[in-house]
Amino acid sequence: MNTLAAWILAVGLALPAAAAAQAVDTGGGRLRVAGFGRVVWPPDAYELAFAAVGDGADARAARERFEPALAAVRRVLDAHAGALAERAQDPPRLHSRGDAQAPAWRFSSRFALRVRGEAELIRLQQELAEAGVAEFELRPSSERLPDYTEQAQRLALRDAERRARIAADELGWRLGGARSVKFLDERPAWLPQTPTARQFGARAYDYAAEAPAQTGEVTAQAEVEFEYSR
């Protein structure tokens, strides 16, 4: 029994106590197997975020600097409207950045875009920088993420079946059909990066935190319960 438990743990199976009792009484039971799938995808769109800002010693001065900066950003975005799959803007926000001895105020408004194509992304960032934008947040994306998600889920199912068959063959069991399937939104342990986006029910990951615009990954985890007989 200890050998059986060690093998099940090694191949990533979780066998409930109720299923173990059923195996003793009826000569069969159920295996619960975790399977993982990963699809590497090339970005064909990019999530770009930045802010238009205006600083001043008082609120009036901040507004006088902010309004032309905001107008310049909007002109650039209007000129590139055909390359933007999505465009959103937060309301202008005024907040204090100084203290009583050295008062300072800032108006800011954050923009979030989805840009199609790398060439358009480069031109857009250049023109926004010339309009006064100093910092950008950039993440890879793809308009085919639903397809990549489905591919990752299929790979997770195949991996679960492979693990179940390894255990069944080694233990002399006859593997039956799948009785239940559950997809889990969890990050496999072998992916070191934190998620950069959550879209279409899956997580997208970067290869390296210092280069967030590199090729990403979509992962899937499936928990499948199989019948078996002895």
Handedness of CA 157, 159, 160, 166 (dihedral sign): positive
Task: List CB contacts of 191: < 8 A, sequence separation 6 or more.
Answer: 38, 205, 217, 219
Quote the pLDDT of residue 23: 36
- Closest by CA to 224, choosing from 152, 149, 161, 155, is 161
- Report pLDDT for 63: 97
- From 129, 128, 104, 116, select the one nearest 54 (Cα to Cα): 104
Nearest Cα to Cα of residue 12 among 39, 37, 31, 29: 31
What stretches in the chain show pLDDT beneath 50? Answer: 1-26, 186-214
Side chain identity at residue 138, one-letter code: L
Cβ atoms of residues 47 and 113 within 8 Å: yes
